[in-house]
Amino acid sequence: MTARRLRFTGPESVEVERRAVPDPGPSEVRVETDVSAVSAGTEGLIYRGEAPTDLPSDETIDALEGDLSFPLTYGYAAVGRVTAAGADVDDEWLERRVFAYNPHESHFVADPETLVPVPDGISTRTAALFANAETAVTLVLDGQPAIGERVVVFGQGVVGLLTTALLAHSPVETLVTVDRLERRRSVGETFGADRAVDPADDIPTRIESIAGGRADLTYEVSGDPDALNDAVATTGFDGRVIVGSWYGTKSADLDLGGRFHRDRIAVRSSQVSTIAPRHEGRWSRERRHDVAWSWLRRLDLEDLLTHELPIERADEAYRLLEDRPDEAIQVLLTYE
């Protein structure tokens, strides 16, 4: 049996590398992957060659080494079973289902402390959404939606849709989503958005007419830097714009000469690798994990899981997300 690993070898070029199945060290376990989720946002930037090559892959994830220059392995949403354990590891880990922030590969070794056990009652496919659910929890924490507020979410990819689903269970007054793809707008409304609009419209005017005023809280998670201007323009006096998108090497050309200054609009980044300092006294990664699992259990997320392809067809998976995003939301790679 050989292990398979996905490598990004250049812009719009991936290959599947075969190697020996690794053996765990004394304090490690080996995981055999069942599925891994493709991140259309971050991995899309890498696939297109739009990620800054001198940036570390992720300094908070042990499995992601080096920088973002080609060739590289990447991915952070693998679900599988522990099939071997080192001499110093408790045998209770054997056959346990786990989530790992690990690149796309069929077998890997890891320190058990870096693995997140998958709770009972959550399917393996749904568990692959865990990293994105954790991001959505972080976005809601950082935005701090309050009762009666008007909230707008730009972008209805997986993270945007999960954020929409969480916000729909909060006491906000009006929840509006913005996305250029009709299918994703429809899913957003299924998840609880009051209205979903096309960015081709006059967004600030359209949202003001729907919500009865400008937004108190706006999320930009579309991955499109141009959307940030619309997000700012949509936000009212003393409102907050939470930027969950990572634009890579793409720059955002912002118009800050109009209402922005006088209206005291705050623009803040949100990123899941860390917990905002204002929350650290009460929130830990473990607590955030528990909340993410809780919502994965409560929500019906089948509409997100649109495609499954074996890792040998990974090139098709990335082309699907690039060329036919109206068909695909979350693509999973499988390892049978």
Q: Hey, where are the domains in the chain?
A: 2-129+304-334, 134-269
Tokens 């399917």 belong to: 123
pLDDT (tens place) for every residue of the chain, 336 residues total: 799 999 999 999 999 999 999 999 999 999 999 999 999 999 999 999 999 999 888 877 888 889 999 999 999 999 999 999 999 999 999 999 999 999 999 999 999 999 999 999 999 999 999 999 999 999 999 999 999 999 999 999 999 999 999 999 999 999 999 999 999 999 999 999 999 999 998 999 999 999 999 999 999 999 999 999 999 999 999 999 999 999 999 998 898 888 899 999 999 999 999 999 999 999 999 999 999 999 999 999 999 999 999 999 999 999 999 999 999 999 999 998
Domain 2-129+304-334 has CATH 3.90.180.10: yes
C-alpha distances out from residue 164 to 154, 175, 279, 281, 299, Å: 10, 8, 21, 26, 12
Specify the pLDDT at position 59.
76
Specify the pLDDT at position 61.
83
Specify the pLDDT at position 299.
97
Q: CB of 101 within 8 A of CB of 76?
A: yes
Q: CB of 179 within 8 A of CB of 160?
A: yes
pTM for this structure?
0.96
Fold of 134-269: Rossmann fold (3.40.50)
CATH topology match: 2-129+304-334 vs 134-269: no
